[in-house]
Amino acid sequence: MSKGKIAIIGIGEVPTRNMPERTHWDIIYDTCMEAIKDSGLHKNDIEGAISVTPQAQPKIAAELSFGKLPEELGLKGCKDAVSVNAGGASTSNAIRLAEQWITSGIAKAVLVHHVTVHSTIPIPDLINFFARAGVDLQWEYPYGTTYNIIMGLMANRYMHESDCKPEEMASVVTALRSWAAKDTNSFFYGKEVPSVEKVLASALLNTPLHKRESNVLGDGGSAMVIVSAEDAKKMKRPAAYKLGDSVRYFSGTCVMRDFYKVAEGFVVTAKEAMAQAGITKEDVSLWNCYLAYPLAHPLIAELLEVAPQGMGGKYFLEGRMSFGGDIPWSSIGDAPGRGHTGSGVSTACYVETARQLMGKAGERQVKNCKYVYQNAGGGSGFNNIATIWGKEI
C-alpha cells in the first residue's frame, strides 16, 4: 500500500521539439534545475537521483547508469544514483524506488528525470530500434510487424467488437491535439487542431491507422522532486500526493497478450488504486491516460467507466474529452499530442499530473483539480500501472 507516503513538490520540463543542437546534458541541466528550484529546496538537499533510462541512446544511458548526474549538477548531498528501465513504465518504477528510498531513510528528497534526443539518432538506427523493441524476434519480427501494426491489430478487433466507427477513432486525435495546441511544451503548441476529416484524409499506414493517428518522434525531457508526504505538508507548498498504485503484468510478446485479460487488468488496477486512495471514479478530476497511440483511448474510456460500453468513440467524437469538454482527459494529449519522447512520455504525464494538482497548468488548468488518475505501461503494453494522485492528503 502506498497511500500518502510521498509527494511531488517540484517539476521542470523543456518543450518537446526536434532540436539536434540541444544536447542531452542541456536538457538535463534545464529540467533538473527547474524542478529543484520549483521545489523550494537547495540543490544539496537532493539525496537521491533516479534517471528514466533513455531508449535507443546507449551513450547517455551509460553515462546516467554509471552515476554521472549528481556529479555534473553538483548535487553535493546526493547519496545514490541509479537508472530505471521498464520502457514506458520506467517513471512509475522510478517513483516507486524514490518512495522506497524516502520511507527507508536513504534519502529525504529524490530527483526523478528523463531526457531523450531522437533527432541525432541516425534514421536507420531509429527505425530498426522501434521495429525490434517489444516485438518477439522469433515469432513476430520475421513477419514484418511494427508498433503501428500491433496497434492496428488491437484497434481492428476493438472496432469489430464495439462497432466503433473510423470517424470516432479519428476524433481521438482531434481531442488529444486540442490539449496539445494549448501546451507550451508540446510539439504541436499553437498548431492547427486537425479535424476528423483531415485525420481520415491522411495516408493509411496500416488498417485502420492513418498517418495522423500515429506518432511524431521528438526530443524532450522533464524532471520532478519527490519528498515524503509529511515533509511536503510541512513545506506548505503546492504538491501532488501519491495515494494509490496498482499494477498487472500481461505479456512480453504481443501475440501472447490476451485482449480480455488486458481489459480486465485496466479495470482492476483502476479499482484497486482508487480503493487505496479512498475515492471513487466520480472523485477523479482528470483522467491522465498514457496509451502512446490514440486508437486505444475509446476502449480505455469504457474500461475506466468514464464512457458506457460501446460509447467510448462517441464521447470523443462529441468533444467531451477535448480541451473545454466536460471530461478532462490526457491534458498533454498523450504521445500523439505531446510528440513521442520514448519512455519520456510517461515522465511528462506524471509531471503534468503534478502540475495540474499544484494548480500550475495555466490555460489547461482543470478546475478544482483534486484527484488525478494516471496510468502507464511498458514496452508494447506488457503491463498497466494505475496510480491516483491528490492535491491533499
Partner 1 sequence: MEFDMTKPVPETQPWSEKFWEGTKQGKLLIQVCKDCKSKIFYPRKFCPECWSGNLDWIEASGKAKIFTFSTAYDMVEPKFTDELPYTIAYVDLEEGIRMMTRIIECKPEDIRIDMEVEVVFQERGGYFLPYFRPVGKK
Q: What is the rounded CA–CA span in Å between residue 151 and residue 185?
A: 26
Residues in the interface with partner 1 (CB under 8 A) total: 39
Q: Binding of partner 1 at residue 148 (CB under 8 A)?
A: yes
Residues 110-139 that bind partner 1 (CB under 8 A): 122-124, 127-128, 131, 136-139
Q: What is the DSSP letter of 186?
A: S
Shortest distance in whole angstroms from residue 262 CB to partner 1: 13
Q: Binding of partner 1 at residue 23 (CB under 8 A)?
A: no
Q: Binding of partner 1 at residue 153 (CB under 8 A)?
A: yes
Rule CB under 8 A: choose which of 152, 220, 298, 377 binds partner 1.
152
Shortest distance in whole angstroms from residue 183 CB to partner 1: 26
Q: Binding of partner 1 at residue 146 (CB under 8 A)?
A: yes
- Interacting span for partner 1 (CB under 8 A) from 79-87, 141-149, 167-175, 370-378: 141-149
CA of residue 58 relative to chain centroid, distance:
22
- Interacting span for partner 1 (CB under 8 A) from 86-94, 147-155, 359-367, 373-381: 147-155
HSE toward the beta carbon, residue 139, CA cutoff 13 A: 7
Q: What is the rounded CA–CA span in Å between residue 224 and residue 117?
A: 19
Q: Whose Cβ is closer to partner 1: residue 1's or residue 137's?
A: 137
For residue 357, what is the enclosing H or E element? helix 344-358
For the record, the C-alpha cell of 138 comes out as 522469433
Q: Binding of partner 1 at residue 267 (CB under 8 A)?
A: no
Q: Whose Cβ is closer to partner 1: residue 57's or residue 214's?
A: 214
Shortest distance in whole angstroms from residue 153 CB to partner 1: 5
Planar angle of CA 81, 358, 98, nearest 5 degrees: 20
Q: Binding of partner 1 at residue 380 (CB under 8 A)?
A: no
Rule CB under 8 A: choose which of 20, 44, 76, 157 binds partner 1.
157
Q: What is the rounded CA–CA span in Å between residue 268 and residue 192?
A: 37
Q: Binding of partner 1 at residue 154 (CB under 8 A)?
A: yes
C-beta separation of 18 from 27 below 8 A: no
Binding mask 226-255 for partner 1 (x = CB under 8 A): ---------------------------xxx
Q: Which of 176, 263, 245, 194 is nearest to 3 (CA)?
A: 245
Rule CB under 8 A: choose which of 74, 105, 160, 282 binds partner 1.
160
In 53-192, alpha helices (H):
58-65, 68-73, 90-103, 123-132, 147-162, 166-180
Per DSSP, the residues of 292-317 read SSGGGHHHHHHHTTSS-TT-HHHHHH
For the record, the C-alpha cell of 153 comes out as 491489430
Binding mask 187-216 for partner 1 (x = CB under 8 A): ----------------xxxxxxx-x--x--
Q: Binding of partner 1 at residue 145 (CB under 8 A)?
A: yes
C-beta separation of 297 from 316 below 8 A: yes
Q: Whose Cβ is closer to partner 1: residue 64's or residue 335's?
A: 335
Q: Whose Cβ is closer to partner 1: residue 128's or residue 184's?
A: 128
Q: What is the rounded CA–CA span in Å between residue 40 and residue 29?
A: 17
> What are the residues whose beta carbons fall under 8 Å from the beta carbon of 80, sequence distance 6 or more?
47, 48, 49, 101, 106, 107
Q: Whose Cβ is closer to partner 1: residue 136's or residue 167's?
A: 136
Q: Whose Cβ is closer to partner 1: residue 153's or residue 268's?
A: 153
Residues of this chain that bind partner 1 (CB under 8 A): 122-124, 127-128, 131, 136-146, 148-149, 152-157, 160, 203-209, 211, 214, 253-256
